[in-house]
Each structure stands twice: as C-alpha cells, then as structure tokens.
Structure 1
Amino acid sequence: MEAIDVSPEMLTLVGTGVLGEHRWPPSPVAFEIDFGNPIRFRFHHSAKRAALETRCNDVRVVLIVDRAACDRLLGSELDLGDGDTFFLPTELRAIALAIRECGLPEAAATPYRLAKSIELLCEILSAKREDRLTASTGPASLSQLDIHRIAAARQIIDEQWTEKLTLDRIARRCGLNRSKLSRGFRQIYRCTVSEALVERRLAEARRQLIATDLPVSLIGYRSGYLNNASFTRAFGRRFGQSPTDFRACAVAA
C-alpha cells in the first residue's frame, strides 16, 4: 500500500496489498475504510499488522493514529470498541474518495492526501463526538441484507437529493417494500426518510448560502422548495434564522 507520513502521530495507507514497512505512531489505533456499497469503516482498538492485512486484496484507506492524538482531538477518551463498524457519513465519503482517487502529480498528491487525511480523521472524530455515526449492524428484527439496503437508501438520499425522490421510488431502488424501509430507516437513523431528505436539502442550501452569491430564492428552488416563503420557513425551523439573516451573519463573521 502507498504510505503518506502525515506526522509522528499519524500514518495513512492507500490502495491494495500488504501494509509494507513504515514507521507507525506509538500506541496506534486504526480506522480502516473499505469502499464497498455502502462505504464503511472499521475501528481497530489496538492496530496490528495481521488484522489489517486480512483484506489486503481490497482497495482501502487506513488511518493509523496515536491513541493520545485521537483523545486530544476528540476532547475525551475514544471509546470505540475493537471491530466496531460504521457506515461512513455522506460528507466523509467524499473525503475518503478524494484520498483514494487523487490523480495529481506526485509532488502535489502527497500534501493533498496529507491534508485530506487530517480532515478525514477530524471529521470521523467530530461525527463520533456528535453521535452521528451509524453502526453497520442494526436491530435483531433486520437482517444484514436489509441493513445494507437501508444504507443504500440513505446513500440515494445523500447523493441524489436534487431528484424528485419519493418513499416508493427509494424503496424500489434499494429493493425493499415501503413499510420495511420506513420502519428500518427510523430504527437505524432515528428519523424518517422524508426528514433525512429535508435535512440533506437544507444542509446543501446552508452550504450554498455561505459559499456562493446565488439569490436566496434560487437556492431555495434548487433545494426543492417551490416558493421562497416555504424555503424560509423550513430553513428557519432547522437553523433558527431566515436564509437571508444566516447569510448576513456568515458574511459578517
């Protein structure tokens, strides 16, 4: 695997094959990301070469990090269990894919992947701190296949939120009936399918208000709201401010 020596406290490995001979941080833990459908990561409480080489034929990104550094970034002791596996949240999937697929020349690729590795670690720990990690195992009432199909439904929402998605359409795409999808989605993600879709659209609207100068009405329309009043109400309920006030505060900051 290709190695990125991020710091004395962190090593990133990318690709397939055995780990190779590299300097490891002291007291290492590991976050092993595999790129199945959906993308998941497995936590290794005490990173060991033998455990990390069991899937050496798969394309992976492996973050090997000093435990003390994780505790420091998290602000408390990292209490994930050995072998705990989680679906990678939407915004983190993009970072992991950027590390895996970086096509820059070597002189630029190394610092780019180094920065993205730090970002990915910080975002994983932030998701842990904010209880946004979803375990890839679920209630006993759901089979492992159902759990993967429900995760696929979440990925459809996260990646295709601009489309006219309905519960029936999402259920058909992921191979579940609507009642099992509705029930299982709430069990795993603690919200309904429609609530997840609204959250995804409003999160993108929030990003566009900060990152672009597009008119508020256009951002609302692109987020699935047919008029500015309904967009303003939904945004205000979620973020406590109107879109216009939110943008003004972001610009002032």
Structure 2
Amino acid sequence: METFFQFRTAEFTDNAQTILQQQPGFVQAATRWQLADSHINFQDYFLDGLQMSVVRGHLQRPFQIELAVERPWLATLFQLEGQVSSKSCALRPLHIGPGQHNLMADEASANTYTFEGEQYTCFSAHLAPAFFSRLVQGNPEWLAKHEARLVNPTPFVLLPPGMAVTTAQRAIIQQIIECPYSGALKKLFLEARFLDLFIEQQTQPVLRPSGASSRDRDTLHAIRDFLDTHYAEPPSLLELARLFGTNDFKLKKGFRELFGTTVFGYIAERRLTVAWQLLTLTDQPVQEVAESVGFGNPAHFATAFRRKFGLSPSHVRRAPQAFAAGLNLTSSAALLAH
C-alpha cells in the first residue's frame, strides 16, 4: 500500500483504529477516530497512482490534523458538508467551504489542516503526478490548461475561491460512497467513477467571481438548497425571487455566475439525477418516477433522460442492477488503461 501521506497528530493517532482489507488490485482501509462527542470515519481506496478518500464525521469543535507527506501529489477535493482550511497549502492559505471543490498540488514535507462543521463530509482523490499527466495529455483542452504545470511542476491551487459542486458531481460521489461491488469489479467501478468525476470537474466552466455581496451569495445558496428539495414543483422565477427577498434579474444573473447554470437548468439536472437514482435503486415504475420528479408528460421525460444519459428510462428499469453503478464503466476503464 503506497500512501501519499501519513497522519501524525497524536490526538488522532492515539484515538484512531484502522482495518485494512486487501482486494484484487487494490487495498481498502477503514479508519475511525473518536474522542468525546466527536468522530470521523475515513474510507480510503489505494489503487495504482491513485488514493481516493471519503471522510465523514460529526465534529463538536474544529479538528486539526497534521499530514506527513510521503511523495508528491495532486489532489481534487470536493467539500460536501463542513469546511477545510490550511494556513499554508501550495504556498498560500487555503479554504474550501461547503458545496465547493478545487484542484491543487503541494510538495511540502508536512502540512496542517483544520476540519470544521457539525456534519462533515468530503471526498478527495490524490494522484501521482505521472498519473495526472497521463490523464490530461490525451485531451487538448485539458492539456492547454495544465501544460505549464506539467513542464514545471510547482505547488498550486487552481481556483482560490473554489467552484460550486454540481448535482452531477454529487451524484457520482454518492455512487462511490455506496459502491455495491467487491473484488476486481469494485476496483473497475471505483476507477471508472473517479474518471467520470474528473471529467465533470475538468469540463466545468471556470467561473469568475460574480461580484455579488456576501449576503447575495448566501441568498443564492439558500435558493439552491431550496431547489434541491422542491425540484418536482418549483415556483416560478418571479415567485422564487420574492420568496427569498430578491428580484428576478439578480436571481437569474447571480445564480448563473455562481453555479454555472440557470435556475431551470439546475432544476432539470436535479430532476434527471434523482430519476436515475429512483430507477436504479427502487422498484418504482417509469411513469411513477417521471411524475415524482416533476415530469407530467412521459414522452418528455424519456426524451430528456435519453439526451442526458444516452439510455431510455425503460431500458434502465429493465435491468436496474446493471446500471446502479453508473454510466460509462467500460469507456472510463479504457481511458484509465490508455
């Protein structure tokens, strides 16, 4: 098991237990840290040139942990709940708040991070530089973005303010967390879903700061959270703006700048993602799924679903277990082996 870093904070090492499990082609490690009324669970997967980590916990106070770096790395980090910060990551202060993600690289021999949040959930993937180079060199657009770093590797944080985690990215991470497979198929699945997530991140538009005030950004995040649970029957744009004490122009402009999509684009994405989950994880009939996510017309639902996933809802319903792991398993694995 070749790690990128080791924890060396006494408070952590003295109160943590790790169980290792060797599987075909990779090692899985489950670590639980608990002290008083706080706890964190680490689920790590060690593959060739890649370490994926799911960190979930409950923190009553900020938790500080020091990493001793074993070898150079690049990392993609998706902060779903809570926040993480460092006084010096990639030669600068780092902060990734809830609902944000970033790409970074650091070769410091040690670094200290602070986890905060009563509920804490994040996903990270650490890559060996050679593995990262292999991924981006086959895509001209990605290569143009990262070529200078490949030629002259230096510490960096790609987007200091961070980017908003999209619905699609959340869905992929959830599938990694809930991976139903074991053995060689699990390794294939994890590699494939990581690549799908990497592709989603690399193709996400680089958002410029919107210039919105902190209060406006808080309002937009509250609106997005509201849409996460009211996607089936959302209010009109004007009603939504009034509900949150803003105006429709500021809502349309600010939402697109902050989240990289329109309000109704976000709703459509959310509906289809939930539909996929219902079709693969429940026994609901296709028409019932369509209605539950807000599609009154089954034909419109089928068209939108096929456009996004390349498959019809009925095709997925006929063999849900075959698709519960997600899409592009074969093509993603082929890219990894390229």
Class of the TM-score when normalised by the shorter of the 2 chains: 0.5 to 0.7
Which 5+ residue runs of structure 1 have no aligned equivalent? 103-113
Q: 1:12 to 1:245 in 2, by over 3 A?
A: closer
Structure 1 partner of 2:163 = 86
Q: Quick one: which of 260, 264, 267 aligns to 1:197?
A: 267
What's the offset of the Cα at 1:169? 4.7
Moved more, 90-99 or 40-49: 90-99
How many residues get paired?
236
1:18-37 to 2 correspondence within 5 Å?
Answer: 18-20=64-66, 22=68, 24-34=69-79, 35-36=81-82
Structure 1 position 206, deviation (Å): 3.4
Assess, with a 3 A threshold, how the Cα gap between structure 1 residues 156 and 69 changes in structure 2: closer, same or farther. farther
Tell me, yes or no, if structure 1 residue 128 matches structure 2 residue 128.
no
What is the root-mean-square deviation in Å for CA atoms of aligned residues? 4.6
When normalised by structure 2's length, the TM-score is 0.51
Instruction: Please state if 1:40 is matched with 2:120.
Output: no
Task: Provide the rounded CA distance (Å) in 2 between the counterparts of 1:121 and 1:82.
Answer: 20
More helix by share: 1
Q: What is the alpha-carbon distance in structure 1 between the residues aligned to residue 316 and residue 230 of structure 2?
A: 25
Give the C-alpha shift of residue 250 in structure 1.
Answer: 7.5
Of 167, 171, 178, which aligns to 2:241? 171
Report the residue type matching 1:19 in the other structure: I
- One-letter amino acid of the counterpart of residue 138, structure 1: P
Equivalent residue number for residue 218 of structure 1: 288
C-alpha contact 1:9 1:66 (8 A) present in aligned 2: yes
Does the 8 A contact of 1:209 with 1:219 survive in 2? yes
Structure 2 CA distance, aligned partners of 1:181 and 1:214? 35
State the Cα deviation string for residues 155-213 of structure 1 (Å, max 9, x = none): 43234423444324543555532221112223344542123212321232234334444
Is 1:66 aligned with 2:136? no
Q: In structure 2, how many angstroms separate the alpha carbons of the residues matched to 1:134 and 1:157?
A: 23
Query: 8 Å contact 2:305–2:313 — kept in the other structure?
Result: yes
Alpha-carbon separation, structure 2, partners of 1:4 and 1:240 = 32
Unaligned runs of 5+ in 2: 1-11, 13-32, 34-41, 83-96, 150-155, 179-186, 324-338
Give the Cα–Cα distance (whole angstroms) in 2 for the partners of residues 156 and 134 of structure 1.
24
- Whether 1:150 and 2:220 are equivalent positions in the alignment is yes
Q: 1:204 to 1:134 in 2, by over 3 A?
A: farther
Correspondence 1:10 to 2:51: yes
How far has the Cα of 1:29 moved from its partner? 2.5
Contact 1:45 1:82 in 2 (8 A): yes
In 1: Cα distance, 2:267 partner to 2:197 partner: 22
